[in-house]
Chains A and B, each alone.
Chain A
Amino acid sequence: MIYRENGQFKTSYRADQQIFPILQDRIAVLALLAIAFVVVPFAASDYMLRAILIPFLILSLAALGLNILVGYCGQISLGTGAFMAVGAYAAYNLQVRIEGMPLILSMLFGGLCATGVGVLFGIPSLRIKGLYLAVATLAAQFFVDWAFLRIKWFTNNSASGSVGVGSLDVFGYSIETPVQKYLFCLAFLCVFALLAKNLVRSAIGREWMAMRDMDVAASVIGIRPVYAKLTAFAVSSFYIGVSGALLAFVYLGSWEPAAFNINRSFDVLFMVIIGGLGSIMGSFFGAAFIIFLPIVLDQLLPVLGSMVGLNLGTAFVSHAVFMIWGALIIFFLIVEPHGMARLWSTAKEKLRLWPFPH
């Protein structure tokens, strides 16, 4: 009844090509942005911001980047953690070595360095495909892990490989409180999400999708595989690098290479798969799911245990979280292999006919 596009006629190409062609969608997105920018900073507690919302925003950005590579271009990558680490350490080096470097510039520089490394490790994708490529990208993961642990120059000769940044300043404002950090990440995410959405519906996005659907056929109709695959690697690692820099600077503050280990790569890949391959919206859903789930389980299990009169030890809880986590992922893959984005679009279809489905 509410969600109908009847009577919304497009009279120009511009209107026809909007990101959200339906008026109700536009209103909903604006309302969501208003809530995110205005209401949440006032309503959310510091814990909520620090432990849930900030990592959610940052990892959404990473999932967005990975979704461009895996979901749109069809190249499976398990090296996300490595590209995040490159972004974080490159931004750190620029920040430390050049006095008075603007924060945003260092982060973008981190992204650019990740782009370089991403393209380098993307070159094999021209010959290696599918699962072979997935394992080959693990080379990036282990090599980068090792490089930041052993090559002291990258970590500014710190003894343990752990580095940290001091205060964060953007345009003369210092970012200290969780609310400020939250808004900073949110601004980044909005800009990059808009860019991504426009990229994937432009010519280059269509090239990526053609590559994903069948690369031989795509190259037969004149799409350059080298260009398409390497740009996908470049854009994706840029996003991932920036999100790595954000994660390190804003969320962690001080970090060591282990913060970007292989589990990080798996987590982001889970976000992309569970959220929905080839969907910008899906990246957010996936990130939300993967961030919330362990927190909820950690809190819920002891409570449930005490309700039935059991005192669950911490060791048991941590193992049980592992088990439930694995089981839920499998459950989700079985119930909706195309991810939450598919659920979302089904819901929208239903809503269009509601309340008279026939």
Chain B
Amino acid sequence: MGFFLETVIGGLMTGMLYSLVALGFVLIFKASGVFNFAQGAMVLFAALAMARFAEWIPQWTGLEGKFLNNALAFVAAMVVMYLVAWLVERLVLGKLVNQDGITLLMATLGIAYFLDGFGQTIFGSDIYKIDVGMPKEPLFLFDKVFPGGVLVNEEDLVAAGIATALVIGLAAFFQYTGTGRALRAVADDHQAAQSIGIPLKRIWVIVWTVAGFVGLVAGVIWGSKLGVQFSLSLVALKALPLVILGGLTSVPGAIIGGLILGVGEKLAEVYLGPHMGGGIEIWFAYVLALVFLLIRPQGLFGEKIIDRV
């Protein structure tokens, strides 16, 4: 029982991290109808920027103090992500208005290639560490209830906490601010939003910046866990099935989809994996999402797809 709980909790934690990446997908898809394959590249790019700025800023300014330097690096990385968002809107999306979904998807793949190359050119291609002082000790929960208790990584707990806070923050931003309301309007109907005077271009920059911010947070958490390296951009591929499972247009869907798939994946790997040769984590989430979509084609919380002739 203790082991089972451990697996479930571990799954929930990774699921939370996946959904952090998935959030970026959903935000951009909602606001611009673009399926952003570059989200993984953005996570890598943001994490690289953060890691390197944290290294460079003390050298440039001679400032002491880890917290201050990390905070400055975070701000600098955020500025970089804003520039990326602005350039993406200016150079790519602004020129591809009214194109097919698949053309836009391919364009974001182009962005992904570019960001991968660009990030490694200016920030270097080694493995970098992000040290934001995440606690690393293992933690034992419920040791009164079970013998041995349940082993949980404290780092995972903090990460899940940050992710939750971020989601709540985003939900509040969408619900209660003027910009958030404009974003929701654009998500509902581009043309109607434009006709009542919401500037689409600015909305897109904002939404890509927010996605960049989410990517940065995801990058910092993943990066401090695994180190910042090229494979970080593959995290996006892990996040894709939960995006469709939860529904492409739903923020809560991304979170709940992430939790379901995180747990499902871990349980499958632990209990099913040994019988099938192991490594089934790679495809299990996809097949689960596929089977689920057969029952509900629009995902858990996606808007119902209505066909009109």
| A273-B102, A333-B106 known; A136-B305 Cβ under 8 A | no
Q: Say if the beta carbon of A266 comes within 8 Å of chain B.
A: yes
Q: Does A330 contact B (CB under 8 A)?
A: yes
Contacts of A44 in B (CB 8 A): none
In the complex, A242→B35 CA distance in Å?
Answer: 31
Closest to A147 in B: B283
* A322 on interface, CB distance cutoff 8 Å: yes
- B117 adjacent to A132 (CB under 8 Å): no
Interface residues of A in 308-358 (CB under 8 A from B): 315-316, 319-330, 333-334, 337
**Minimal beta-carbon separation of B52 from chain A (angstroms):** 15
Q: In the bound complex, what is the Cα–Cα distance between A270 and B293 (angstroms)? A: 26
Does B114 lie within 8 Å of A327, measured CB to CB?
yes
The reply to whether the CB of A214 lies closer than 8 angstroms to some CB of chain B is: yes
Report whether B113 and A124 are in contact in the complex, using a CB–CB cutoff of 8 Å.
no
Could you tell me the distance between the alpha carbons of A127 and B244 in the complex, rounded to whole angstroms? 14
A70 at the interface (CB under 8 A from B): yes
Q: Does A319 lie within 8 Å of B120, measured CB to CB? A: yes
A323 x B105 contact (CB < 8 A):
no
Interface string of B289-309 (1 = CB under 8 A from A): 110011001110000010111
Q: Is the CB of A76 within 8 A of B282?
A: no
B297 near A129: Cβ-Cβ < 8 Å: yes
The reply on B248 being an interface residue by CB < 8 A is yes
Knowing A127-B294, A273-B102, A330-B92, say if A135 contacts B278 (CB, 8 Å).
Answer: no
For chain A, residues 265 to 281, give those with C-beta under 8 angstroms from any C-beta of chain B: 266, 269-270, 273, 277
- How far apart sit A134 and B243, CA to CA, in the bound complex (Å)? 12
Query: Measured between alpha carbons, how far is A124 from B91 in the docked complex, in Å?
Result: 36
In the complex, chain B residues 103-136 whose Cβ is within 8 Å of any chain A Cβ? 103, 105-107, 109-118, 120-121, 125
Q: What residues of chain A lie closer than 8 Å to B278, measured between beta carbons? A: 150
Select which of A124, A131, A145, A333 is within 8 A of B101 by beta carbon.
A131
Contact check, B293 vs A319: say whether CB atoms are below 8 A apart: no
The interface bits of chain B over 69-105 (1 if a CB of A lies within 8 angstroms of the residue's CB, else 0) are 0000000000000000000000110011001111101
In the complex, are the beta carbons of A217 and B309 less than 8 A apart?
Answer: yes
Contact B110 A333 (CB under 8 A): yes
Asked whether any CB of chain B lies closer than 8 Å to the CB of A139, the reply is yes
Contact B283 A322 (CB under 8 A): no
CA of A273 to CA of B99, assembled, Å: 12
Contact residues in A for B117 (Cβ distance below 8 Å): 319-326
Least CB distance from B238 to A in Å reads 10
Most buried by A among B95, B243, B276, B286: B286
Some 13 contacts from A to B, beta carbons below 8 A apart, are: A128-B297, A132-B248, A132-B299, A136-B289, A139-B289, A151-B277, A269-B106, A319-B125, A320-B117, A323-B114, A326-B112, A326-B116, A329-B106
Question: Top 6 closest A-B pairs, CB basis?
Answer: A322-B117, A326-B113, A326-B114, A323-B117, A139-B286, A329-B110
Beyond the given pairs A131-B248, A319-B125, A334-B95, 19 more chain A to chain B contacts, judged by CB atoms under 8 angstroms and listed by A's residue number, are A70-B102, A127-B294, A127-B297, A129-B297, A136-B286, A136-B290, A139-B283, A145-B282, A216-B307, A319-B117, A319-B118, A322-B116, A322-B117, A323-B118, A327-B110, A329-B106, A330-B114, A334-B92, A337-B99
Residues of B within 8 A of A (CB): 35, 91-92, 95-96, 99-103, 105-107, 109-118, 120-121, 125, 237, 240-241, 243-244, 248, 276-280, 282-283, 286-287, 289-290, 293-294, 297-299, 305, 307-309
